[in-house]
A = this chain, B = another copy of it.
């Protein structure tokens, strides 16, 4: 089982949106690498007013200079916001300065306030995503000049530089429905599974992906599917209820941030925020409890086919990661080869 991190600076550590929170977040990531966390997948958000990470590829470029081996991911880069050739250059530069450590997560966008702010019609998101992703892939792989005359972009006689080190960096997509999971496997894309699905649903999704690989004669590999989970590890079972309350508060705050400024929030959260926030559902979809509880929950995920977990923890800080590394991680170390 591999472990990584999912999140970002500012609110991700439960702080106000000042610049210092970036410094604390950076220290957190640098120490996490030393503790054995194998990746950081950074979110990208805009116009929240809370100092969230917006320029994910710049923060990853910086982290490339402060870390040595952890994978540097986006989860996700929202394609409709970006100029596709500049994006290809920026991501290739991250891959280059990190010597091939970029994991490029891509998405269509879902936050109403971002479509509103960028003044982009949500109805165009899919078409913009497709055109931009095609252009990024072509930019990374074409060694000849090319021209493009698309719906949103046109370019003439371009060759995009620099080239990435990986040929090309892996593309990660967030998917959950059977169709989208199978489509990701068919396209050779890696899979980001959400932090709300139960163990059973997660196992089903992994099954769809592996089934599609089997049909195509592709050998499954470890680390192709990453599952995000809230990490609510505590040293005393009596603290669990408080952790659940904090998590519900964090989800509600995220949902509010995604609203168009000045408009009333919908009565019920929609889209990715329409999650079951009952205590029981939260327990089922998080890595929660004492070290023994967390080991048990992770073993259940392992039995369902999970080999890579990304932890989201907006308030526990480095102390929780140290506790996890000391008390939980050893239970998932590869067994030493028999003498």
Binding site for B on A (CB under 8 A): 9-10, 17, 19, 22, 26, 46-55, 57-59, 61-66, 81-83, 85-86, 89-90, 92-94, 96-97, 113, 116-119, 145, 154-163, 165, 260-262
Contact = CB atoms under 8 A, between A and B. Distances in A.
* From A48, A64, A154, residue with most partner B Cβ within 10 Å: A64
B46 A93 contact: no
A48 B156 contact: no
30 contacts: A9-B162, A10-B161, A19-B165, A46-B89, A46-B158, A47-B157, A49-B145, A49-B161, A50-B161, A51-B161, A51-B162, A51-B163, A54-B86, A54-B160, A54-B162, A55-B86, A55-B92, A57-B58, A58-B89, A58-B93, A58-B94, A61-B61, A62-B64, A62-B97, A65-B65, A65-B66, A81-B86, A117-B157, A117-B158, A119-B155
Question: Lowest 10 A-B CB distances belong to which pairs?
Answer: A65-B65, A61-B61, A58-B93, A54-B89, A55-B93, A62-B97, A55-B90, A58-B61, A117-B158, A55-B89
A117 B82 contact: no
Given A61-B59, A154-B119, A156-B116, A145 B261 contact: yes
Contacts of A154: 119
A189 to B, nearest CB: 23
For this chain, the copies found in one complex come to 2
Contact of A162 (B19, B93, B155): B19
Contacts of A26: 97
Contacts of A58: 57-58, 61, 89-90, 93-94, 97
Given A65-B65, A89-B46, A54 B155 contact: no
Contacts of A54: 86, 89, 93, 160-162
Contacts of A113: 157
Given A59-B93, A89-B46, A97-B58, A260 B157 contact: yes
Given A46-B89, A89-B54, A261 B163 contact: no
Given A65-B65, A86-B81, A47 B97 contact: no
Given A155-B119, A157-B262, A161-B51, A59 B97 contact: yes
A47 B145 CA distance: 8
A96 B156 contact: no
B157 A116 contact: yes
A171 B106 CA distance: 33
Nearest to A21: B162
Contacts of A53: 162
A20 to B, nearest CB: 10
Given A58-B61, A117-B155, A161 B48 contact: yes
A58 B156 CA distance: 24
